[in-house]
Chain A
Amino acid sequence: MRKFYTLLVREVRGYFHSPIAYIVLVFFLLVSGMAFYFQVSFMNQRPASYSVQEMFFNNVLFWFAFVLIFPLITMRLFAEEFKLGTIEPLMTAPVRDLQVVLAKFVGALVFYIVLWIPTLLYFAIFQKITHQPAANSAGAYWGSYLMLLLLGMFYLSVGCLASVLTKNQIIAAIISFSAITLLFFLGLIQIVMLDVSGGTRDWLGYVSAIEHMGTYSRGIIDTRPVVLYLSMTAFMLTLTYQAFQSRKWRL
């Protein structure tokens, strides 16, 4: 456990030692802040049936920023170690492969959570200034942030897998960006293609991140996405672990 903790601390510090952390933070706060501002001004012009909080988590600008942060967070995880050769001192220390994989994943998750904390301020400031609730209920906050966590875990594990496959960070970023974008917008197929059957439509609904977010941000905690995302995360991390071990045989 101590070794895992040591590795985790090094991963989290690694983010804040590199300029990437600050660039991602600034980019993300800029884009999400802009999204928030646009939504509020938009809602100012006409009556809306959504709360500010619901609008914030269900608009195009949010989606855009959302899919872009995962490659930026995960691309360096393994690729950088392979490139610099630091994998050699790391893996000749008495640590297990699984400890390293989990430490890198949890490290990325910690950074992801840190990234989201400032967005809570948006709602606080909104309520302070307008003296109106930003959300319809407290459950809506819980729901949307829980869905952020679930989606985050899944997409970060996809990013881990992409990073373990190459020593080139750019390639890792492109692989994870493509995979995550496809996964995230999978649910939109039913809108784009009109001739899909009812069964396919239902199936796409089950895996559509956009629909999940829509449900959760209203404060409805459906357990099906929880199972989906947790099991997919476990699956992706298993693949990452296997791919990480395969370095021994590919050398």
Chain B
Amino acid sequence: MIKVENLTKRYAGQTAIRDLNFEVGQGEIMGFLGPNGAGKTTTMRILAGFMPATSGRASIAGFDVFEQSLQARSRLGYMPENVPLYNDMRVTEYLDYRAALKGVPHRRVAERVGDVKELCGLREVERKLIGTLSKGYRQRVGLADALVSEPDLLILDEPTIGLDPNQIRQVRELIKNLGKQHTILLSTHILPEVEMTCSRVIIIHKGRIEACDTPDNLLGQIRQAGGVVVEAKTGKDNGAEELKKISGVREVTTDQDEDWKIFSLRVESGLDVREEIFRLAAARKWTLRELSQRRATLEDVFVEITHSDQTETPI
């Protein structure tokens, strides 16, 4: 659906993205991750036909986003970051306008606009001026706009930014459902979101793709896969000393909660040391309150990838 080859964009004096290569297949939900300024918005704007790339090519459904911009744009629903909207229009009026602009046939406009208002929960504000809407509703208007022409591809730039937790959950559900019929490329900062919704993830950092895989594979790849948390009363024992001796444990940090000691262990990936810890505790007569393995999250992957090269000279 999306094909990006050697895409590079240079602004005056700096390179926003360099040599991006990726593909998004039909029906995929692709998550686009990266720190602020990594080049996510730039990439999405190029794909949406808003600005041309310096070099390289990108195509949507086989249409080059620059050479055949109109055809590419008519197959796409784009929701820009911060959702700029005409504040002087009413919700229904705006969606009618956008539907007509995107070439929805005249007799289908009312039906389509009705559908997306229903889908995005805009019924109760349909007659309001967009300027008076809360952030959450503006976001939904932007989403409804992206959906109104039933595009094959949705490009959503930070669709959940500025929403409260309930709204985030609603939008996430909505995106998951949309993924059944549409191909979606979405960028976000909220990592659990990506784990829950996306079939594949691209991590972009300083304008380059650092990783592109399924969330599960990415979790498998990282070095510090797991961690174990132990809470115990160790009596006279130091605790940390003994725990460090277990093979596979790399690092132990200790916190104190009144009488209880809380040990956080970093363990080599693929190892489960909990059984050994239990045996150790039993042998040393420690009282155990918690013994749990923390699953590595996409956050760990993200932090590892985007912090590992901090010592490098910036681009």
The residue of chain A having its C-beta at the shortest distance from the C-beta of B76 within the complex is A92
Query: For residue B98, which residue of chain A has the nearest CB?
Result: A93
Chain B hits for A17, CB < 8 A: 88-89
Would B82 and A85 count as touching, CB distance under 8 A?
yes
Q: What is the distance, in angstroms, from A29's C-beta to the closest C-beta of chain B?
A: 23
Give the distance to chain A from B238, nearest Cβ to Cβ, in Å: 58
Interchain CA distance A235-B73 in the complex, whole Å: 29
> Given the known A-B contacts A3-B103, A248-B52, are A10 and B88 also in contact in the complex, defined by CB atoms under 8 Å?
no
Contact, CB under 8 Å: A92 / B101: no
Chain A residues numbered 1-42 whose CB sits less than 8 Å from any CB in chain B = 2-3, 6-7, 9-10, 13-14, 17-18
A92 touches B73 (CB 8 A): yes
Residue contact B51 to A251, C-beta cutoff 8 Å: yes
Interface of chain A: mostly helix, strand, loop or mixed = helix
Complex contact A14–B88 (CB within 8 A): yes
**Is there contact, CB below 8 Å, between B48 and A92?**
yes
Q: Given B71, B84, B88, which contacts A89 in the complex, CB threshold below 8 Å? A: B84
Complex: chain A residue closest to B44, CB-CB: A92
Which residues of chain A have C-beta atoms less than 8 A from B76's C-beta?
A: 92
The docked-state distance in angstroms from the alpha carbon of A13 to that of B97 is: 11
Bound-complex Cα distance A6 to B142 (A): 19
A228 within 8 A of B: no
CB pair A92–B84 under 8 Å, yes or no, is: no
- Once A and B bind, how many residue pairs between them come within 8 Å at the CB atom? 67
Q: B101 contacts A88, CB within 8 Å? A: no
Interface size, B (range): 20 to 34
Which residue on chain A has the smallest CB distance to residue B70?
A: A94
Q: Counting CB contacts under 8 A, is B49 at the interface?
A: yes
| Interface membership of chain B positions 212-235, coded 1 if the CB is closer than 8 angstroms to chain A and 0 otherwise | 000000000000000000000000
Contact, CB under 8 Å: A6 / B101: yes
Q: Shortest Cβ distance from A149 into chain B, in angstroms?
A: 28
A94 contact from B50, B86, B102, Cβ within 8 A = B102
Shortest B154–chain A CB gap in Å is 12
B106 CB, nearest partner CB in chain A, Å: 8
> What residues of B have a CB within 8 angstroms of the CB of A89 in the complex?
78, 80, 84-85, 98, 142, 145
Whole-angstrom CA separation of A87 from B85 in the bound complex: 9
Quick one: given A14-B86, A94-B70, are A6 and B97 in contact (CB under 8 Å)?
yes
Which residue of A is nearest B9, CB measured? A251
- Is A248's CB under 8 angstroms from B51's CB? yes
Q: Is B100 in contact with chain A by the CB < 8 A criterion?
A: yes
A251 and B187 CA atoms in complex are apart in Å by 21
Question: Could you tell me if A251 and B101 are in contact, using CB atoms closer than 8 angstroms?
Answer: no
Q: Which residues of B contact A91 (CB under 8 A)?
A: 49-50
Most buried by A among B73, B78, B100, B106: B100
Q: Would you call B80 and A85 a contact (CB within 8 A)?
A: yes
Residue numbers in A under 8 Å from B80 (CB-CB): 85, 88-89, 92
Complex CA gap A81/B101 in Å reads 16
When distances are taken between beta carbons in the complex, the residues of chain A under 8 Å from B199 are none
Contact (A94, B84) CB under 8 Å given A251-B11, A251-B51: no
Complexed CA–CA distance, A86 and B89 (Å): 12
A96 at interface by CB-CB < 8 Å: yes
Chain B 83-94: CB-based contact to A (< 8 A → 1; otherwise 0) = 011111100000
Is the beta-carbon distance between B48 and A6 smaller than 8 angstroms?
no
B26 on the interface (CB 8 Å rule)? no
On chain A, the residues within 8 Å of B89 by CB distance are 13, 17
A88 to B78, CA, bound (A): 9
B306 at the interface (CB under 8 A from A): no
Closest residue on chain B to residue A88 by CB atoms: B80
Expressed in whole angstroms, the Cα–Cα distance for A7 and B98 within the complex equals 10
Name the B residues within 8 Å of A191 (CB-CB). Answer: none
Closest to B87 in A: A84
Indicate whether B74 reaches chain A with its CB closer than 8 angstroms: yes
When distances are taken between beta carbons in the complex, the residues of chain A under 8 Å from B145 are 89
Question: Which 10 pairs, one residue from A and one from B, show the smallest C-beta to C-beta distance?
Answer: A85-B84, A17-B88, A94-B74, A6-B100, A94-B73, A92-B48, A88-B80, A92-B78, A86-B84, A93-B101
A91-B49, A92-B80 known, 5 other contacts, Cβ within 8 Å: A3-B103, A7-B101, A89-B145, A92-B78, A96-B70
Show 15 A/B contacts (Cβ-Cβ < 8 Å), sorted by A. Answer: A6-B97, A17-B88, A17-B89, A84-B86, A85-B80, A85-B84, A86-B86, A88-B45, A89-B84, A89-B145, A92-B48, A92-B73, A94-B74, A94-B103, A96-B70
